Chains A and B, each alone.
Chain A
Amino acid sequence: MVALIQMKSMFAFIALSLGVVSASVLGIASTNGTDKQIVGNWVEIDWVYEKVDAYENYDDAEKKQVPEFIKQSIGEQLIIHEAETWHFMPDGRLLLQKEDGEEELQWRIKGRGHILQLKHDNNVIETFEIAGIDKENMYLHLETEVQVRGIAKLIFKRI
């Protein structure tokens, strides 16, 4: 009798667990992940430097520039994008439209959908944290070393 009750509770628990997993998977499948939301055309509208208040000697114009020593700590591989239009294609290609031409990259979403990786042809990889994304706007943070994280915030508008 006791064994039967134990078996019943075991099956009930396993059924419940499968139910939880199935419900979560269905919920995930029916919600648009970042990899779906990001597809489309975006234009960079602003750069904000969150930690520049630590450098009070800089005037406003200088605050728009990443100080050289921080660039060095971020690494030489960092490619600064400015005033570009980003076309995220569903097949993982990204077309960057610059004033001086066009560049094709590969984009990937990692983590729980909070990391954007951009791969250039010369194997340079840029990593951004997707701080927020909706139908209108996207906010990217430069994801580099922990001590300099959040210094640069890129703001995009969907076009």
Chain B
Amino acid sequence: MLRKYSTSRTLSENIRLGILTAFSAGMVNVAALIIFFSFASNVTGHYAILAAEIAKGNWYQALVVFLWIFMFFFGSFSSNFIVINYNKVSPYIAHATPIVMEIICLMAVGIYGQFFYRETLVETEALLALMLFAMGLQNGLTASISNGAVKTTHLTGATTDLGILASMLLRSEYRRNEEMVGKAKLISLIALFYVAGAVISGFVYFRIGFQLFYLVSAFLVVVIFYDAYEIRFRKFLAHEHNKRKRSVFAVSAASNTEDSES
């Protein structure tokens, strides 16, 4: 899910990455809306609010919204910075690091919210900034390693692409285009899992409160360890295969020696 980069990624790898991260983003966004009355994973609305607050002369609110947008931007910057600079050292570590950072941010929100949150405005603004940074990290990473194919924290672009694809897939010659069908499948699944995460978050928050963020972190841990497990599993398979090959070779070599001696 995280090891491969850009065009070397397969559709199924993008789908696995897309659905898990979209599910997490949907959960985070709805949690932010319920708890803090603001979105944490999509910034288009924040741009509109920024403009409106500037026009109304509400400088405090304009600065807060500007900071939130900047945190999303900085999250995306950090992700891609890590990917392009450490990809040669280890693609897996370069791609997993932004997810680890995201988990740290979301766990911090969960722990602070559960034990220390007194519902002051400053706390609300700071926790939202942290969540927007986390979502920027996630979106920057998925977009960066999938060459822009997977963007999971907001659905404006995805809905646009889906509309375009749907109109194209009405023609039979495009329906035979596997790449186009695959893209439609990927975007539809991202949208579906984003909404599923959002709906589940809405239900779960009222039962477990801020502990919801531990659940989101758990999904992200799956994203990280899926690849780690796969790498170890493949290494194990390769090791077993080599061992079997060596033993077959040793048996055949021994029988050859016996044949030549006789």
The reply on A135 being an interface residue by CB < 8 A is no
**Using Cβ atoms and an 8 Å threshold, which residues of chain B touch A24?**
63, 66-67, 70
The reply on B65 being an interface residue by CB < 8 A is yes
A110 to B124, CA, bound (A): 7
Most chain A beta-carbon neighbours within 10 Å: one of B37, B56, B60: B60
A33 to B67, CA, bound (A): 15
Task: Tell whether, in the assembled complex, residue A112 and residue B125 are in contact, meaning their CB atoms are under 8 Å apart.
Answer: yes
- Mark out the residues of chain B between 48 and 77 whose CB falls within 8 Å of any chain A CB in the assembled complex: 49, 53, 56, 59-61, 63-68, 70, 74, 77
A141 to B81, CA, bound (A): 44
Task: Tell whether, in the assembled complex, residue A27 and residue B70 are in contact, meaning their CB atoms are under 8 Å apart.
Answer: no
Task: Tell whether, in the assembled complex, residue B70 and residue A113 are in contact, meaning their CB atoms are under 8 Å apart.
Answer: no
The reply on B119 being an interface residue by CB < 8 A is yes
**Using Cβ atoms and an 8 Å threshold, which residues of chain B touch A20?**
70
The reply on A109 being an interface residue by CB < 8 A is yes
- Mark out the residues of chain B between 235 and 253 whose CB falls within 8 Å of any chain A CB in the assembled complex: none
A149 to B60, CA, bound (A): 24
**Using Cβ atoms and an 8 Å threshold, which residues of chain B touch A32?**
60
Task: Tell whether, in the assembled complex, residue A111 and residue B70 are in contact, meaning their CB atoms are under 8 Å apart.
Answer: no
Task: Tell whether, in the assembled complex, residue A112 and residue B49 are in contact, meaning their CB atoms are under 8 Å apart.
Answer: yes
- Of chain B, the residue at the smallest CB distance from A17 is B74
DSSP majority for the A interface?
mixed
Partner of A112, one of B38, B70, B81, B120: B38
Given contacts A31-B60, A33-B60, contact A111 B124 (CB under 8 A): yes
- Mark out the residues of chain A between 1 and 28 whose CB falls within 8 Å of any chain B CB in the assembled complex: 10, 13, 17, 20-21, 24-25, 27-28
Most chain B beta-carbon neighbours within 10 Å: one of A17, A27, A112: A112
Task: Tell whether, in the assembled complex, residue B67 and residue A28 are in contact, meaning their CB atoms are under 8 Å apart.
Answer: yes
**Using Cβ atoms and an 8 Å threshold, which residues of chain A touch B63?**
24, 27-28, 31
Task: Tell whether, in the assembled complex, residue B119 and residue A112 are in contact, meaning their CB atoms are under 8 Å apart.
Answer: no
Q: How far does the Cβ of A103 sit from chain B's closest Cβ, in whole Å?
A: 20
**Using Cβ atoms and an 8 Å threshold, which residues of chain A touch B81?**
10
The reply on B89 being an interface residue by CB < 8 A is no
Q: Measuring CB to CB, which residues of chain B are less than 8 angstroms from any residue of chain A?
A: 36-38, 49, 53, 56, 59-61, 63-68, 70, 74, 77, 81, 119-122, 124-125
7 closest Cβ pairs, A-B complex: A111-B37, A31-B60, A35-B121, A24-B67, A115-B37, A110-B37, A109-B121
| CB<8 Å pairs between A and B, sample of 15 | A17-B74, A21-B70, A24-B70, A27-B59, A28-B60, A31-B60, A34-B61, A34-B121, A35-B121, A109-B120, A110-B38, A110-B119, A112-B49, A112-B61, A112-B65
